[in-house]
Amino acid sequence: MTNNDVVRGFSKLTEEEKRSFIARLCNDSVQAEDRFERFIMEDETERSHFLELSENTISSFHTPYGIAPNFLVNGKVYHVPMAIEESSVVAAASHSARFWVEQGGFTVTRLSTVKLGHVYFRWYGDPAYLRDRWHQLKLFLLERLKKLTSNMVRRGGGILSLELMNETATIDHLYKLELKVETINSMGANFVNTCLEDIAEALELYFTVDDEPESKNCQVAMAILSNYTPECTVTVEASCEIEHLLPIAGRLPVGVFADKLCLAYQIAHHDPSRAVTHNKGIMNGVDAVLMATGNDYRAAEAAAHAYAARDGKYRALSNCFVEKNTLKIALTIPLAVGTVGGITNLHPLARLSLEVLGNPNAKDLMGIVASVGLASNFAAVRSLVTTGIQKGHMRLHLSNILNTLNVNNGQREAAELYFSNRKVSFNAVKHFLHEITH
């Protein structure tokens, strides 16, 4: 069997059969199968739940789980779990949090939690007929939804609005129904999609039972939530007097340091080439906390990058400016998060992460996540305008290089000492190890 062979019925194999089948594609099938097996949790109940999270699961892919301590958000200190494999991210966030905690921490200044979804359909009849019937149709659709939304309403959420939108300027005959909902402490994807599919079914039903000639002209295309959530955003800010920047300004005078910081943020605002990397630095922190708490980081990434381009040009999500001798940084980002339901109830570390954070509600978690994103971003920009990004990053990456080269403890200690004041690269480390062993 080779990687080019087509396999049929793979999903019908048992877990062990799948693992054995895939292991035979590896150089050492016995070792591969053993490694696949060893990376799955031993507790039978947790193992069963974990394997059922996805399909055709044969193992688990571990990611380092670390803590960025001392995040002061709205007057409360959090020690934030982060799941990420990239060197320096947790260290940079922690360093940034330690600085800002002495300046009063991070403050959530704005927050909204409206989720969106749409039913897209073609209308081949008279547009005036559809507009005239909309009020009656809307009441019909909302009445049907009550059976699905009663529990959410009891928790304080539910349907906020349902509107008809004309999209025929972009695609012939296309209309959409836009649903806005409040899902309280759940991310809400399943709830929103269930409501939308009910609306789609009811839309076709409404026109099918109507015996007027114009009523046969509705064709539903699809019903789906939108991961673009411009009304589910959080803004966090932090500020300090310029003089207080001295401990992190490196060898720069604080005034020059503050000026270079502001310039770096301005460049990211105007230049998409820089903005993409700038925003990646934000998402390093955001994604790591979302991963640790069992939230959908892919949805957050999609929403953030769409939001960054909302005026037609891709820009930085954060900004930095000086006002009356005070440096201020701020981040506005769309974040749809949940603290109940989904993987947060199934993944044992996701549950523990929320406990570590004091079991926050969804709004509080939005503030925590955004604060880590802003701290990560600030740490990266601070490095860029002082020592450069590679000094800290490659120093932490040295450990990964040494692990790749399978060094012993003595070689590791020698390499760490040698590279404590030298530039780190894979070739440089390899050459150094060759020199001390030959």
What's the CATH number where 354 sits?
3.90.770.10
Tens of pLDDT, residue by residue over 8-51, are 999 999 999 999 999 999 999 999 999 999 998 888 888 888 88
Q: What is the DSSP letter of 67?
A: E
Q: Which of 226, 252, 284 is the last residue of a domain?
A: 226
User: Is the pLDDT higher at 398 or at 313?
Assistant: 313
pLDDT above 70: residue 244: yes
Q: Please check whether residues 165 and 242 belong to one and the same domain.
A: no
The residue ranges of DSSP E strands in 167-232, in sequence order, are 174-182, 218-226
pLDDT above 60: residue 214: no
Q: Please check whether residues 265 and 354 belong to one and the same domain.
A: yes
Catalytic residue among 15, 86, 197, 301: 86
Alpha-carbon distance of 114 to 92, in angstroms, equals 32
pLDDT band at 341 (very low <50, low <70, confident <90, very high): confident
Please indicate whether residue 197 is annotated as part of the active site. Answer: no
pLDDT above 70: residue 58: yes
Q: Give the pLDDT confidence score for residue 348 in this predicted structure.
A: 86
Q: Please check whether residues 105 and 74 belong to one and the same domain.
A: yes
The SS3 assignment for 116 reads strand
Please indicate whether residue 435 is annotated as part of the active site. Answer: no
Q: What is the mean pLDDT of the chain?
A: 93
pLDDT above 60: residue 1: no
Q: Give the pLDDT confidence score for residue 406 in this predicted structure.
A: 87
Alpha-carbon distance of 40 to 50, in angstroms, equals 9
pLDDT band at 84 (very low <50, low <70, confident <90, very high): very high
Q: Please check whether residues 357 and 404 belong to one and the same domain.
A: no
Q: Please check whether residues 155 and 10 belong to one and the same domain.
A: no
Q: Give the pLDDT confidence score for residue 421 in this predicted structure.
A: 77
Catalytic residue among 260, 280, 328, 363: 280
Q: Quick one: 279 exposed, middle or buried, by C-beta within 10 A (0-12, 13-18, 19+)? A: buried
Q: Please check whether residues 405 and 382 belong to one and the same domain.
A: no
Tens of pLDDT, residue by residue over 124-172, are 999 999 999 999 999 999 999 999 999 999 999 999 999 999 999 999 9
Domain coverage including residue 281: 65-109+233-387
Please indicate whether residue 86 is annotated as part of the active site. Answer: yes
Q: Quick one: 417 exposed, middle or buried, by C-beta within 10 A (0-12, 13-18, 19+)? A: exposed
Give the HSE-up count for residue 300: Cα atoms under 13 Å, Cβ half-sphere: 29
pLDDT above 60: residue 2: no
Q: Please check whether residues 75 and 99 belong to one and the same domain.
A: yes
Catalytic residue among 296, 305, 347, 364: 296
The total number of structural domains in the chain stands at 4
Domain with residue 156: its CATH number is 3.30.70.420
For the chain, give percent helix, strand, coil, nearest 5.
55, 20, 30
Please indicate whether residue 393 is annotated as part of the active site. Answer: yes
Q: Give the pLDDT confidence score for residue 424 in this predicted structure.
A: 84
Summarize the confidence of residues 307-322 as an average pLDDT.
98
Q: Please check whether residues 71 and 58 belong to one and the same domain.
A: no
Q: Which of 226, 244, 271 is the last residue of a domain?
A: 226
Amino acid identity of 259?
A: D
Contact indicator for 432, 411 with CB cutoff of 8 Å: no
Contact indicator for 233, 183 with CB cutoff of 8 Å: no
Q: Give the pLDDT confidence score for residue 3 in this predicted structure.
A: 60
Q: Please check whether residues 417 and 429 belong to one and the same domain.
A: yes
The 3-class secondary structure across 124-182, one letter per residue, is CCCHHHHHHHHHHHHHHHHHHHHHHHHHHHHCCCEEEEEEEEECCCCCCCEEEEEEEEE
Catalytic residue among 95, 118, 393, 397: 393
Q: Please check whether residues 272 and 366 belong to one and the same domain.
A: yes
Q: Please check whether residues 45 and 166 belong to one and the same domain.
A: no
Alpha-carbon distance of 402 to 13, in angstroms, equals 39
pLDDT above 90: residue 210: no
Contact indicator for 343, 351 with CB cutoff of 8 Å: no
Q: Give the pLDDT confidence score for residue 393 in this predicted structure.
A: 59
Alpha-carbon distance of 120 to 219, in angstroms, equals 9
Contact indicator for 62, 39 with CB cutoff of 8 Å: yes
Q: Please check whether residues 175 and 262 belong to one and the same domain.
A: no
What are the φ and ψ backbone dihedral angles of 261, each rounded to 5 degrees?
-60, -50
Q: Give the pLDDT confidence score for residue 345 in this predicted structure.
A: 79
Alpha-carbon distance of 350 to 331, in angstroms, equals 25
The SS3 assignment for 225 reads strand
pLDDT above 90: residue 249: yes
Summarize the confidence of residues 273-282 as an average pLDDT.
98
User: Is the pLDDT higher at 295 or at 403?
Assistant: 295
Q: Which residues contact 169 (CB under 8 A, 6 or more apart)?
A: none
